[in-house]
Chain A
Amino acid sequence: MSGSRLLLGGRWGRGRLLRWAIGGLAAVAILVWSAQGVNLNLREFIRGLPWVADLISRMVPPNWEFLPRLGRPVLETIQIALWGTLLSMALALPLGLLAARNLSPNLTLYHLTRQALNLLRGINEFVFALIFVAAVGLGPFAGVLSLAIHGAGLLGKFYADAIEEIDAGPVEALRATGARPLQVFVFGVLPQVIPAWIASTLYRFEVNLRAATILGMIGAGGIGFELYGSMKLFQYRDTATCVLVILAMVMTADYVSSRLRTKILAG
């Protein structure tokens, strides 16, 4: 008895121990229930391993003949990410200003904008892509629109949060000189938020590029179309080439953008 008390420490009363036991049991129950829901099965996995190995064996060596055909889709993927990011930036700027509590002209507008941003952010870009494919047809434009709309929700929140974190002192000082609101914004707010804004926009571009590589699977343009097509045609060596190209593209973008971001945030 004294041993266990020593182990658990004095503050572990009986009531607390009971609460922890109940909580632990509930957690285990939820995990087991979820495992059944998703057919979590180690035996199935082990039984499937040879098939995975077989698939991989059919992917090597990658078909380098396929590489030239990927030039255009790769460019298209980058173009989708670029315009998706640019358009979401353009949408996020006004929304971000309204959603910053210390800048928003009135509280109702502030709450409305925050909710609108939550909504845009809450719906996955692929859901948007499905909607836009139906609306504007198959192709990269649907992908651009979906990245723009979902990204506007994310960037708008980033922009607004950055504005809410600024030092209010310079803003008060500028107001005290009789400067007009736009001047106060350009001289007092913008210099304080611009590094964070650029960094979050660059990060958004990275994410958009990754998203753009698979948008093609639902017909919204980019390299994902080739990836999906090659698998459907059982051309697994072509699939391997696609995967490697995507990897190279995403890693390059991550590297360049993270270097830029650290540079901007430091300077």
Chain B
Amino acid sequence: MIEILGLTKAYGALPALNGITMTVPAGEMCVILGPSGAGKSTLLRCVNQLVAPSGGGVRVNGRAAPTNRAQLRELRAGIGMIFQHHNLVPRLSVLKNVLSGRLARLPLWSSVLQIFPREDIAIAMAALARVGLADRAEDRADRLSGGQQQRVGIARALAQQPQVILADEPVASLDPKTAQVVLNDLRAAAHELQIAVLCNLHQVDLARQFADRIVGIAAGQIVFDGPPADLDDAALARIYPELETQAA
């Protein structure tokens, strides 16, 4: 569960987030919808502290913001993250990329020597099987197609056995068909593994199709919060104000 309360973030004098308050329960696929530059990416990165919030608070599974490095790593270990450009290590095997999701739970020296316990390999293989790529485990990551690499990215996040997954524009660089597969995997993970998924998208139709709930953001503020069925033209006009003026 993610609880965000009055979250603000400014880059210098430039405000990015302006008082975001929302809660994502376990098992919910929550899509953040908004134009680029609305603060979606910053919001996600505040949840796992890749970006330090300027004000307000984020609680993940009831835990308050970390105060030291060990707590920070503990927080991040429970949060999977999926990126627009998958961010796999190209020269490593698919399996090792997925196993890197286990690193926070593994002893330092053996993991650095790339020695992994049997049970962790089993977890990684199960995560790969879930995205339908178990047969590619030994291939180098850069041998896979863009869509497959993104699914390995999902497997890496799942290998963390997280309570929360953050997905930052996971399908922005994929073709429409592959985008469907990836978002389907993501939603299935949310529902079947009871993970709270916070997923940034900028495509309205994909948000409608896959979200349990849509949160619309414009200029760092929430301008819509509800089920996809409630996302009408008036709501869209609030999320994409520029679009409206262009059409008029």
Contacts and interface: CB of A to CB of B under 8 A. Distances in A.
A216 interface: no
Nearest to A191: B91
Interface stretch (B8-16, B97-105, B220-228): B97-105
Contacts of A177: 76-77, 80-81, 100-101, 103-104, 156, 160
Given A170-B87, A176-B81, A192-B91, A187 B76 contact: no
Interface in A158-198: 167, 169-170, 172-180, 182-183, 186-188, 191-192, 194-195
Contacts of B103: 174, 177-180, 183, 187
Contact of A178 (B77, B111, B112): B77
B89 A191 contact: yes
Given A169-B85, A170-B88, A191-B91, A176 B79 contact: yes
A183 B108 contact: yes
A102 to B, nearest CB: 15
A176 B89 contact: no
B204 interface: no
Given A183-B108, A183-B111, A186-B112, A178 B74 contact: yes
B40 interface: no
A174 B77 CA distance: 10
A186 B48 CA distance: 22
Interface residues of B, number: 32
Nearest to B75: A178
Interface string A94-128: 00000000000000000000000000000000000
* Interface secondary structure of A, over-half rule: helix
A170 B101 CA distance: 12
B50 interface: yes
Contact of B73 (A178, A187, A191): A178
Contacts of B74: 178
Interface string A180-224: 101100111001101100000000000000000000000000000
A92 to B, nearest CB: 20
A183 B48 CA distance: 18
Contact of B83 (A173, A187, A188): A173
Contacts of B64: none
A148 to B, nearest CB: 26
Nearest to A181: B69
A63 B48 CA distance: 74
B96 interface: yes
A191 B100 CA distance: 13
A192 B92 CA distance: 9
A164 B163 CA distance: 34
A186 B74 CA distance: 20
A177 B73 CA distance: 8
13 contacts: A173-B83, A173-B156, A176-B76, A177-B101, A177-B104, A177-B156, A177-B160, A178-B72, A178-B78, A179-B100, A183-B112, A187-B96, A191-B90
Given A170-B89, A173-B83, A178-B76, 16 more contacts: A170-B88, A172-B50, A173-B81, A173-B100, A173-B153, A174-B100, A175-B50, A177-B81, A177-B100, A177-B101, A177-B156, A178-B77, A178-B103, A179-B73, A188-B100, A194-B91
